[in-house]
Amino acid sequence: KKIQLKIIGEGANEKLLRELVNDLGLSEFVFFEGYKTKDEIVIAYNEANVFVSSSFKETFGVVLIEAMACGLPIVATKSGGPVDIVNEQVGYLAEVNNASSLQLAMQNMIDNYGNFESENIRQNVIANYSEKVVSEKLENQFIQCLKNKKQ
């Protein structure tokens, strides 16, 4: 299978990663896309088949929700927010700072890619993270806080 990894963004390790890709002879499979605007990110999501996040710390995971809204299955690390977002219907989780675990999760995605339905992933986002749903959850939390305060 010809698989490409497109790395979007810039960071302190970019030079080291570029050297590693060259040393491993992976230049035809790994591409460094650099910084992208919001509009370019949406295009990238729509061109992709899977979204992978290898974060060490992810407080919520907005990028995961964005990718899922575009129907992408997810591979992410158990870096905080992804633990509450990624389930067996939308993707796989890997251990933080564990290349073998991430590799296994990515291989599972390759092997089981056909089990993920874009529309189901989108519906998961709508059911759990749409403006209406989040607003209702927040409103209910505020009401509960006010009730507790009166007691």
For residue range 64-116, what is the model confidence (pLDDT) as tens digits? 999 999 999 999 999 999 999 999 999 999 999 999 999 999 999 999 999 99
Instruction: Mark 97-133 as b/e (b = at least 16 C-beta within 10 Å).
Output: eeeebbeebbeebeeeeeebeeeebbebbeebbeeee
CA distances from 27 to 18, 19, 20, 49, 74 (A): 9, 10, 10, 20, 24
Least confident range of 1-10, 34-43, 60-69, 88-97: 1-10
pTM above 0.85, yes or no: yes
The pLDDT mean for the chain works out to 95
